[in-house]
């Protein structure tokens, strides 16, 4: 009787494992990364990216894959900003990089950015808006600006 119960339990556990494997395989695809592909890395766990957390991009990159460490890890070549980060990431934190195709999306990036009012005193020139946000409580916009220092010639 005890042996019969034991065999039944082993069969039930085997069926359960097989069903779990079937469900896992049905909903998870193995990533097909290759050395040299461009990928972006998820950034919510990065503490070394400067700036406000709200304005942080959800992905950093694109980066080139240097090597594969099995099926579940890849090593990427990081930029100088992220150089103190370990370059090996699990594939769950990595997505393939899809560049913007101007033939498929002809209107993308065609709209010019609005420059804020020129607040400079004449010594700097605003070249582009790097980041922009609107404060919820006030009807104000905040800008992070890229500037170029100019030499001003004065007579006298």
pLDDT tens for residues 8-55? 999 999 999 999 999 988 887 778 888 988 999 988 877 766 777 777
pLDDT reported for residue 155: 43
Measured between alpha carbons, how far is 12 from 81 in angstroms, rounded to an integer? 53
Nearest to 41 by CA among 56, 68, 63: 63
Residues with Cβ < 8 Å from 113, sequence gap 6 or more? Answer: 128, 129, 132
State the pTM of this model.
0.51
pLDDT in tens, 89-128: 998 889 998 877 777 777 766 656 565 555 555 566 667 7
More confident residue, 127 or 58: 58
Cβ burial of 76 (10 Å; 0-12, 13-18, 19+) is buried
């Amino acid at each position: 009787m005890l042996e019969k119960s034991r065999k039944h339990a082993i069969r039930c556990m085997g069926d359960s494992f097989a069903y779990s494997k079937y469900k896992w395989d049905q909903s998870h695809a193995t990533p097909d990364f290759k050395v040299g592909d461009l990928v972006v890395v998820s950034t919510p766990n990065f503490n070394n990216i400067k700036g406000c957390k709200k304005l942080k991009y959800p992905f950093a990159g694109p980066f080139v894959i240097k090597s594969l460490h099995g099926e579940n890890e890849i090593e990427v070549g990081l930029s100088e900003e992220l150089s103190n980060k370990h370059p090996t990431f699990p594939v769950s934190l990595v997505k393939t990089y899809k560049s913007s195709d101007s033939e498929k999306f002809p209107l993308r990036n065609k709209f010019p950015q609005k420059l804020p009012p020129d607040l400079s005193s004449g010594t700097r020139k605003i070249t582009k808006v790097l980041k922009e946000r609107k404060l919820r409580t006030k009807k104000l916009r905040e800008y992070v600006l890229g500037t170029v220092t100019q030499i001003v010639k004065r007579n006298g």
